[in-house]
Structure 1
């Protein structure tokens, strides 16, 4: 039996008719940039998360970059984040000219350790980016308490955690802004790249909306006026078509980006958003079976805090014999993944920051032990049982 780490074909098959219909609708409309599907998806996403503003963008990395830019973070600033995460969490900080400052994680949840944050704060610190890694929310009460004390922004990196909750509140509502990714392998994924910024802050939303399209047009003027305290009537282009011609896009007010969510991706995501809670519940059902089945084995199962709702973007196991286990599972046809083999403070691109091996022992410990096995909602009972039997044989 061959079982992929995630089966996108199986997901497509489960929604084939509806996905094909909306794709053809977009193609036949010839409206491919912005438009109804994008605005409707943003509204539906806001309703789902429970926020006032959702700003769709080209991908999750752009979401982080634009959010930081909207906060006014740039050259000479510092932003604190986890060292045990995907590169984009830190790359986005560097992309706006600021410096990432890394903090170690907790061994049990893999999330940034709030007890280690305050010692990293300087007069250059402007924000904290907690990463809800693998689908489990970080300790936001403590992080927000620290941020409030030091007058810092909090930007949730929720790219792996759509649908997750913290003490009854949806991930994405717990900081000043939050960012999501719709990369195809995410719990909510499109058929390409896509991302979303969410916030309840009207000013930040206005600026982010302008930044995603070159700081131009009606939204650019709104942001410019807001930033410069200008009271004037904002130009509107009635009936403009963003795919063909919008006269206002040639009036620029801010230095921005070209980062829009395609209408096709928005239409696909509108279909899938209706399924996300069901899919996340299915992931948790598979995890419960895994956790019970793996008791007593020479492998450590993931910990989920009681006050959060984990969405298990990845199901992460730990083993001292990781390489041999991975090889054994590969021979049995089970795909695995190592997340993450090199913590960010040890990546060569950040050698100039002066970190060294031993600086963040928990992240380094985890980088040599963690690996993921399949947990997607389309897994069959037969596949789940085969995975369990294979892990048991590999981790006696």
Structure 2
């Protein structure tokens, strides 16, 4: 940070370039383009890929809001699909029924711990000549047959929000791709539609979405600890699994083993629980933080009412929205603290709440 202040280059400077280069080596991407946040990364990725007015993009209805809002921001229409109840990602069997002549892309989300079923999604996309644009915001260090998340389709994104597996001390995001045209467009879009070497010549109306060098400096340091922190998360998840295995009211995470050998990273330890909201309130009273993922599926959001979806249209997503809750999960968590969380969950159900 001192070096950045001394040099006076605070955005899209040397630290950002160093981070992009390090992530290109780590992920195997030909192009990593750092931007201000992952929501911007999604919007920039879509625009760089040519998604715009009149197009439709198939997205899961159970995800963070930006998964759908980014499609709306570029003038396209989000088409919601139900989720796989195990992985919480796009249900490949539901995608095909949503494809129309306007469909331009499928956007799977790799949610919580594991990749979507990319082999099945890619097969459908190839058969219908569709792009695959990955919301891989949570999927740092998730690989499938040697390919990093975000490179299994045409392009993807990474989020560096502070709670993420690799988090900054503020906002930050990344577009990654092996497609040279998408990369060139993304680099232009992040700085008002201009090329870095020809300022004040704007090829398109872009955005002000440069990454701060201070965020890049933090990420470069934290990047050196990423693998040991991922291993620590896996250990803590195993402790939770053991501590909650005998509760019939709770479903612990299931990692789906697939032929494509996708690997898991415990960004979130998500359970499904009976009387979820009462449990969350009970744990809060004990000083234990939780997070509800996601209480309102995207197809029920007021801003998408004009799309004509109704409650009951997406049963798997709606069930998850009523039952899913994230428990504390971060590398500095101790085994004793995990045991304490599990004891209070046992106490809640044994005492009737």
Q: TM-score range by the shorter chain?
A: over 0.9
Distance in 2 separating the partners of 1:167 and 1:359: 34
Aligned match for 1:353, one of 307, 327, 332: 307
Moved more, 83-92 or 277-286: 277-286
Aligned match for 2:222, one of 272, 282, 285: 272
CA contact (8 A) 2:12 2:211 kept: yes
Aligned match for 1:77, one of 40, 55, 67: 55
TM-score if structure 1 supplies the norm length?
0.85
Distance in 2 separating the partners of 1:318 and 1:326: 12
Residue in structure 1 matched with residue 288 of structure 2 by the alignment = 334
SS at match of 1:265: helix
Counterparts of 1:159-308 in structure 2, within 5 Å, are 159-218=137-196, 236=197, 248-297=198-247, 298-306=249-257, 307-308=261-262
Residue in structure 2 matched with residue 147 of structure 1 by the alignment = 125
Distance in 2 separating the partners of 1:361 and 1:381: 35
Query: What whole-Å deviation, never above 9, does each CA across 1:139-190 have from its counterpart, x for those lacking one?
Result: 0000011111111111111111211223443222211001111111111111
Distance in 2 separating the partners of 1:324 and 1:254: 50
Residue in structure 1 matched with residue 348 of structure 2 by the alignment = 394
Residue in structure 2 matched with residue 321 of structure 1 by the alignment = 275
After superposition, the CA RMSD in angstroms is 1.2
Distance in 1 separating the partners of 2:278 and 2:193: 52
Matched, 1:365 2:315: no
TM-score if structure 2 supplies the norm length?
0.95
Query: What whole-Å deviation, never above 9, does each CA across 1:27-50 have from its counterpart, x for those lacking one?
Result: 122111222111110010111111
CA contact (8 A) 2:187 2:195 kept: no
Return the index of the structure with the highest Cα Rg: 1
SS at match of 1:368: helix
Residue segments in structure 2 that go unaligned for 5+ positions in a row: none
SS at match of 2:29: coil
Structure 1 residue 312: deviation in Å? 1.6
* Structure of higher RCO (CA pairs closer than 8 Å, 6+ residues apart): 1
CA contact (8 A) 1:57 1:196 kept: yes
CA contact (8 A) 1:129 1:154 kept: yes
Distance in 2 separating the partners of 1:217 and 1:176: 22
Residue segments in structure 1 that go unaligned for 5+ positions in a row: 1-22, 219-235, 237-247
Moved more, 29-38 or 141-150: 29-38
Aligned match for 2:45, one of 67, 77, 80: 67
Distance 1:206 1:217, change over 3 A: closer
Distance in 2 separating the partners of 1:111 and 1:131: 6
Structure 1 residue 387: deviation in Å? 1.4
CA contact (8 A) 1:49 1:172 kept: no
Distance in 2 separating the partners of 1:326 and 1:183: 23
Distance in 1 separating the partners of 2:64 and 2:140: 16
Aligned match for 1:102, one of 75, 80, 88: 80
Distance in 2 separating the partners of 1:283 and 1:308: 17
SS at match of 1:178: strand
SS at match of 2:221: helix
Structure 1 residue 319: deviation in Å? 1.4
SS at match of 1:144: helix
Moved more, 75-84 or 379-388: 379-388
Structure 1 residue 109: deviation in Å? 1.5
4+ runs deviating over 6 angstroms: none
Aligned match for 1:344, one of 292, 298, 302: 298
CA contact (8 A) 2:43 2:70 kept: yes
CA contact (8 A) 1:135 1:162 kept: no
Query: What whole-Å deviation, never above 9, does each CA across 1:109-163 have from its counterpart, x for those lacking one?
Result: 1111001001100110001110001131100000011111111111111111211
SS at match of 1:133: coil
